[in-house]
Amino acid sequence: MAEKSLSGQVQQKKASGWAARDTCGVLSPFDFYRRVTGEKDVTIKVLYCGICRSDLHMLKNDWGISTYPLVPGHEVIGVVTEVGSKVEKFKVGDKVGAGFLVGSCHSCHNCANNFENYCPKLIGIDSGVEYYDGMKTYGGYSDIIVVDEHFTVRIPDSLPLDACAPMLCAGISVYSPLRSHGLDKPGMHVGVVGLGGLGHMAVKFAKAMGVKVTVISTSPSKKKDAIERLGADTFLFSHDPDEMQSAVSTLDGIIDTVTGFHPLLPLLGLLKYNGKLVIVGGPDKLELPVPPLLFGEQINHDYRAKAVVGCFVGGMKETQDMLNFAAEHNITADIETISIDNANTALERLEKGDVRYRFVIDVGNTLKSSS
């Protein structure tokens, strides 16, 4: 809990960032307040913050949950500048990160089993909701952030801070389903649909786990990048019926990172018996006719006994495990670093798919603080 003054008011500290004021989603400088460092909190000087496609949705209120002013950003990397009196895991000077999760109930079944990401009372870092002390949550397009130590992760020394930022969303969003759905066994064959911010991380993690990887894309131009740059084993152009037919019933699982509307039946046809199609991209809706799931269509396209599931980031233990695994296997995101002044241009480019593969804001060197 935040400290209170003698008058009973929550004490605050000045902060600066960039925010959107309405659904046009245009960012501009914004001064606001953070809570002071509570007894279990760490205050973080933000050095880098990744730009996620969900930032676009939040800025324009595509999901109907945004409140304004809105400071986005849930891929935060920085250094600890202050710790609360009961903080045990961190000290001033530590390199740390904060992802989407900044609060949960700590008592439900999911929290007790390290799945805070599925807590009914979870609080998002940039969701604009009230924190426990009544102050509004603002994201990482800002100079400082205050986070409970439980929701703070340690950045291994070998990971570059800028290229590590996207791993707090894109990285954990694909690492978690690979682990939790048993798609991490050497020799397994996993498909990755879409080769963007999440997709390129899925290829890297799966290959490091010893998994055979097939990238599935609507863009044949991405074949060279998928195989030669990222190390995928094979590539399928999803609009080519012959290519798709050649891969029927060959995959143990699929990580679907696509954010737009697309049919699922062709993907299910690629799965083996009991295979899993894991949705992580967050599209508004998907196309999935039910009869083929019950009765099948033909012997070469049996859609039965296959699962479609969703996966939302990961819990805190799993997020730290992901970072440690990345450090062990030298995995980082492929990024383009920008200044905060270029954030609006970067968001426009992201909407067009013009990035390989993630924008990261150099907050520490380009954001002008009000203090």
Q: DSSP letters along 153-214, please?
A: EEPPTTS-HHHHGGGGTHHHHHHHHHHHTT--STT-EEEEE--SHHHHHHHHHHHHTT-EEE
Q: Are 154 and 89 in contact (CB under 8 A)?
A: yes
pLDDT attached to residue 97: 98
pLDDT attached to residue 10: 54
pLDDT attached to residue 98: 98
Query: CA nearest 359: which of 338, 332, 331?
Result: 338
Q: Residues 6 or more apart from 16 whose CB is under 8 A from it?
A: 29, 30, 31, 32, 142, 143, 367, 368, 369, 370, 371
pLDDT attached to residue 1: 38
Dist. CA 78–CA 96, nearest whole Å: 6
Give tens-digit pLDDT for 23-62.
999 999 999 999 999 999 999 999 999 999 999 999 999 8
Dist. CA 352–CA 350, nearest whole Å: 5
Q: Residues 6 or more apart from 338 whose CB is under 8 A from it?
A: 345, 346, 359, 360, 361, 362
On the 0-12 / 13-18 / 19+ scale of CB atoms within 10 A, 68 is middle
pLDDT attached to residue 233: 98
pLDDT attached to residue 300: 65
Could you give the angle at which helices 197-208 and 316-329 cross, rounded to 10 degrees? 70
* Cα torsion angle, 326, 329, 334, 336, sign: positive
Dist. CA 16–CA 140, nearest whole Å: 10
Q: Collapsing DSSP states into helix, strand and coil, what is residue 305?
A: coil
Q: What is the DSSP letter of 130?
A: B
User: Residue holding tokens 């929290």?
Assistant: 111
Low-confidence ranges of the chain (pLDDT < 50): 1-8
Dist. CA 215–CA 223, nearest whole Å: 8
pLDDT attached to residue 371: 54
Q: What is the largest CA-CA distance in the chain?
A: 75
